[in-house]
Every structure is written in structure tokens, then in C-alpha cells.
Amino acid sequence: MPGKPNIVQWIKVGVTLLALVVLWELACRIFAIAPFLLPSPSAIVSRMIEKPMLFWIHGWYTLYETFAGFILAVAVGLVSAAIIVVVPSVRDVLMPILLIAQLVPKVAIAPILLVWFGYGVVPKIVIAFLVAFFPIVVNLANGLVSVEKELLDLGRSLEASRWQVFWKFRMPAALPDLFSGMKIAITLAVIGAIIGEFVGGDRGLGYLIIIANQELDTPLAFASLVVISLGGIVLYALIEVLERIVIPGRQPLQQPQVSS
């Protein structure tokens, strides 16, 4: 996406989305599609209005898991990346291991985590953490080592301490990468939490979808999906706002490099 989207662009996006929803609604009505196959947008919305508390309660639960896993991933990711970069001998061993570990499908671990941590909130947070951790640590570590060689020479010529080099040279240089990682991580954390709820539990929007499926209540499943998506968009936007506040200067904003 070249350049920042402007207002005109946003209006175009909004109008297009609205047109798609209208088409969907019309298709459902004209062809009389059964709601358990594909509910119309109006049916989904009315389902949401019917029992708003249902979505609030389960939504908060999922949000809590997502956020806890994400914050944990940021905290552990920051410390790991810092150690990887500051202690080169650790980097040589840990970086390949991290890259290999990234290939393990974390979602497949979910049932095992259930065995270890029970059916409560913990396994969901752990899964959210696991999927969110890798993009943060890999992006941040890359950012921390990507400082220009000449800048590091400048630091050496001024006899800067390791601590100064880390905070004044490496960390600011890596902030855009950290935020790239966080943007990927937050969307993955939502997926992680939902997967956890799919596998076992009695609360959360993922659980709601499972129940809706069992009862062939497709409008409920779609309504849950809408709430999850809206939540994801809000979380992503929050990180983008934070990025604009934290990173000074008019640098071109980086788009995340990896998606899953």
C-alpha cells in the first residue's frame, strides 16, 4: 500500500464494503437462502441486538485472553530480543532455534496445553502468547541488529557503553520493526485465543461459535465472527495509534513484512 490512506480512500473503501453488504442482503432475499446456510446481514445484526449481553460477556473473556497473551508476548519478546542482540554467543544458538520453533504449528499444541493447564483461562493465554511471541522477537531482533555499521562505529568512537548503544542506537532504530511485529502479533493473539476456546472451555467467542455450530444457529456463528473481527480491527488500530505517538519524525510507516 503506497502512502498513507487518505479520507477519500477511506470513503471509497467504506462505500465498497457497504455495496457488498447490500448485495449479500439482496442475494439472501431474492434467492431465499436458508439462514442456517447463509444468514443475511440483517439477520446477523438482529441476532446481535437480540442478546447484546451475550456478546459483551463472551467478548470480554476473549479480549482478556488475547490481551494477556499479547502483553506477555511483548514483555518476553523484548527481553529475549535484547539478550539475543547484546550477547552474541546467545544469538548464534538461539536465533536458529527460534526460527525452527516458529515452524512448529502452535495451534496443534493447543490440545496438549489443555492437558497441562486445564479448561480455564490459562491455556488460552498460553496459546495466544505462543503465536504472538515469535513475530515480536524475530522482528525486534532483526531491527536491533540492523543499525548502520557507521552509527555503531560512531558509538565506539565516542566510547559509548553497551547500555548507551542499546538504548540510544539499537532500540530507537528497532522501534518500527517492533511495531511491525506487534501488529502481526495482535492479530495472531486473537486467533490463538479463539483456537484455545475451540479446543475446550465454556466461555469466549470461540466457544460461542462452537455452540452455534452444534445447534445449526449460523446467524449466531456469523454474529460472533463479526464481533471477533471488529475487536481485532480495534486492537490493530490501537497499536497503530501507539506507533504514531511513540515513533517521532515523519518516517514512512512500515507495513508488516510477514503474515500468517
One character per residue 163-202, x = contact with another protein (rule: CB under 8 A): -x---xx--xx-x---------------------------
Among residues 151, 211, 226, 253, which is the contact residue for another protein, using CB under 8 A?
Answer: 151
Among residues 11, 87, 90, 154, which is the contact residue for another protein, using CB under 8 A?
Answer: 154
Does position 143 interact with another protein (CB under 8 A)? The reply is no
Inter-residue long-range contacts of 73-76, CB under 8 Å, 24+ positions, other chains counted: 73/128, 73/129, 73/132, 73/133, 73/136, 73/185, 73/189, 74/132, 74/136, 74/182, 74/185, 76/129, 76/133, 76/137
What lies within 8 Å, CB to CB, of 32 at 6+ separation is none
Does position 249 interact with another protein (CB under 8 A)? The reply is yes
- Cβ atoms within 10 Å of 91's Cβ, excluding its own: 18
* Least distance between another protein and beta carbon 151 (Å): 5
* Least distance between another protein and beta carbon 179 (Å): 13
The helix or strand, by DSSP H or E, that contains position 133, with its residue range, turns out to be helix 122-145
Distances in Å between the Cα of 117 and the Cα atoms of 107, 108, 120, 201 are: 15, 15, 8, 12
Residue 229 exposed, middle or buried by CB count within 10 Å (0-12, 13-18, 19+): exposed
Looking at the Cβ atoms of 105 and 159, the one nearer to another protein is 159
Does position 250 interact with another protein (CB under 8 A)? The reply is yes
Does position 156 interact with another protein (CB under 8 A)? The reply is yes
With CA atoms as reference, report the closest residue to 236 among 21, 76, 103, 66. 66
Does position 160 interact with another protein (CB under 8 A)? The reply is yes
- Site size for another protein (CB under 8 A): 22
* Least distance between another protein and beta carbon 150 (Å): 4
Among residues 31, 105, 159, 214, which is the contact residue for another protein, using CB under 8 A?
Answer: 159
Question: What does the binding site for another protein look like in residue numbers (CB under 8 A)?
Answer: 148, 150-151, 153-160, 164, 168-169, 172-173, 175, 247-251
